[in-house]
Amino acid sequence: MEVFAVVADSTADLLGARMGPTVPPTERTAWVRPLVEPGQWAHVAVRAYAAGDVLAISSVVGLIYQPEAAPPGSEPEFPGGSEEWRVGKPALPFAHRSQPL
């Protein structure tokens, strides 16, 4: 594996998934901003890549997208702002409910 990335889509098949930035395997966190409105279901997974090809994909998890706004005047906790989901440590801080697929 060369890199991994979190992907998110409105459907569990992830056919139109939005991919977050790729990160090396030495990183413990990756993030993505789902293309759904707050309060809607999104499906997320982690993909591993080598030479541009998908090597493996994690289980797909359905979550309610519930972004938390950063306090006024504060800096975002990670790249892109406070509305992304991240996977790693800590895991998915903005997803509060899940549904088995």
| pLDDT, tens digit, 9 for 90 and up, residues 52-73 | 888 898 999 998 888 766 555 5
Q: Is the peptide bond before 24 cis (omega within 30 degrees of 0)?
A: no
Nearest residue to 4 via CA among 45, 33, 42: 45
Q: Specify the pLDDT at position 30.
A: 85
- What residue ranges do the domains of the chain occupy? 3-96
Q: Specify the pLDDT at position 35.
A: 86
What is the rounded distance in angstroms from the CA atom of residue 46 to the CA atom of residue 28? 12
Q: pLDDT by residue (tens digit) across 25-62?
A: 888 888 888 888 888 999 999 999 988 888 898 999 99
What is the rounded distance in angstroms from the CA atom of residue 36 to the CA atom of residue 33? 9
pLDDT bucket at 12, cuts 50 / 70 / 90: very high
